[in-house]
Structure 1
C-alpha cells in the first residue's frame, strides 16, 4: 500500500470514528431537537415565550419548600396561555424533600390532583437543592415519586445538573427503571444562545432534555432541546392511549377484590347479616378505600377501614354521630364473629384555601392516612375549601 493510499485510509477511518463519536454524543438529539422554554412565577401570569419555532413549555405548579407545599399562583394561567399558543405544555415541581419519604409522598398527594396538563404529559421533579447525606434515601424518594407520577397517568422526569445528581443520587438506578428520563442543565456561558452547543452536552445515560442556556434571549430565559421526543408525551394519539393503558395497568396491579360478610347490624336495620360486600383494597398498606354499599337504590354507607382480617364500616347514626360496624373477612379467622359498632362523636375542621391533607393532619396530630380514612377518602382524593373534615 503506497503512502498516499495509507494516508487516505487513515483519514477515512478517522472521519468514520469522528462521525461515530458525534452520533454517540448526539444520539439522543437525533429523534426530535424540538426546542422550548420553562416558566416559574418569574415569567408572569402568561409566561414569556422564546421564539415562534418553540414547540413546548414547562410550567412550575409549585413545590415543597421549607417543610411545606407552596403552589405557584401563575401555574393555571401559564398553562392556559401556552395551550392557546399551540404549545405542548408540561409541568414541573420544586422537589425540596431531600431524602424524606413522608414529605415526598405528601408532596405527590398534594400536587398530582392539581396537575392541569394532559394525562401522559411530563411531570418533572426539580431536584437541585436540599438533598440528604444518604444517596440511597434520596434515590428511593425519587423512585417512589416517579412511581406515583406514573400511576397517576403522567410521564415522570428528573431535572438537575449533572454534578449535583452524581453527588447525591444513584442516577443509574433511576435510568434503569425509567429509561431516558433526565432533564439536565449545562451552560457554556451566559451569553444569549438560541441553539444548543453540543460540545457542552452533559454526557450521561438517560438524558432526554438538554437545558443549554439560561439566556435564551436578551433578558434571560431558559432554553431547552428535546432529544428523544419525550415532550410529545400526552400530545399524540399513541401517547394518550399508552398513558391510559399505564393507568389501567397500575390500578389493576394495585387493587384486589375481597369479599366480606356483614356480621352485625345496628338496631335500625341498616346492615343485614349474610349480605356480602366487595371491597377493593391495596395490599401494600391496607389503608382505607372508598366503597359503596347499596340497599336497593339507597346508599347505606360509603367508607370502610381495613384492619388486618376486619373491615370497619362507617355509617351516620340518626343523632348525627358516626358509628362503626365490624365486618369479617370471608374465611378469615374471625369470620362470623359478632362485634357491635360503637358510636363516637367527632370534632370537625373546615378546609381553607392552601390546606392539604398534610397540613391538616400535622395540625391535628394525625397521619395523612388516618385523616383521610376517617373521612372515607384516600390521600389521593382532592379536598376543597369549605369542605368539612373529621379531625377527632
Structure 2
C-alpha cells in the first residue's frame, strides 16, 4: 500500500516532505505552491517550540500558508527534557503552543530528540522520556512520532519499525531506500527550491503517516518539472569532508560522521539555540557559561569528539571554552562562518540579568564589563540591549 500511495522510485530519493522553522524566515504561500507544483512536495513539518519556553515566531504563518498551498501540515518540538516530568511539561507546552498557532487536530507533532540533554541520558531513560512526551501530546489530538539521527536511532533511544523519522545523509541514495521500515527518511539538509532562499531539509515518506488524518488538495500540476527537479536533487557525490551547510530547519547540518579529529580553523559561530559552554570538549566537562540565540562566539579550533562537533574559543578570563556546533553527522546548532574574524563578542541582555551575572558568565569583573561599554555598574541595563563582553 505504501508503494502504491507514494509511487516509489528506487533510483532516486524524493522530496516528499520539507521541514521549516524561524531559520528559514518568512515563507509565503507562493513558495509552498512552487514546492508542490515543481518539486512534488506533499507535506511540510513546521517547528512549533523548543524546551519549555521557546515558541517559534513563524509557526502560525507557516501553518496558514502551507494549508493555503494545499499541502499536508505537521509540527515538531525540539526536546530539551532529561526527566519524565520535564518530558510531560514540554509536551503540554508544545501542545498548547501548537493549538494556538493553528496546527490542526490529526496532524503529527513529533518530538525532535538530538540535544545535549538526551545525549547525557541512558537509552532506557530516553525511551521512558520519549514515551511520556508522546503519550501526553496525544491528549491534544495530535499523532506522535520521534525524529532523530541515524546514529542515535536504536543507540541513544529505541525506534521501532513502522515508527520514526530518521535523518541520515548519503547525498547520493544510489538506489537504496534508507530506513524504509520507518515513517520517513530525511536524506538531505540542503535541497534548493526555485523561488526560496537557502537550503532545506527534505525527507522521503515511506508510508502515509505524515499525510494521514487530514484533508488536502495536494496535486503537482507540473509533472515534467517534478521529474526534472527530483533528478537534479539526486545528483552529486558522497561527502567526504566535514562541512556546515548554513541554512536549514533546526539549523544547518554537519555532513559526515567522523570521530576524534581536530581542525586548525577559525571563524564566528552564531547559535540558534541555547548552548552550554564547557571547560573541555565533552558534555561531562564542567559548565562555565551559556550562549543564547542572537549572540556570537569567535572560535579558533574545531574538534570532533564522537557524538558532537565542538568549537574552542578563548574566554575573557584567558581560559579556553568549548561550545557544541552540533551533532556529529547530524543537526547543527547554528550558523558557522569560517575564516571570518571579529574583534568583539557581544551578549544580549535577558530578563533577570545583572552586571554581576553577565560579568561572572564571561569571566570579567563588573567594573571592566561596564567600562568597556562606556557605562558604570550603577547604569541600568535592559532586556535586548547588547553589551560587549570581549
Q: TM-score range by the shorter chain?
A: 0.3 to 0.5
TM-score normalised over the length of structure 2: 0.46
Instruction: Pick the structure with greater CA Rg.
Output: 1
TM-score normalised over the length of structure 1: 0.46
Q: Which has the higher contact order (CA 8 A, sep 6+)?
A: 2
Normalized per residue, which structure has more helix? 1
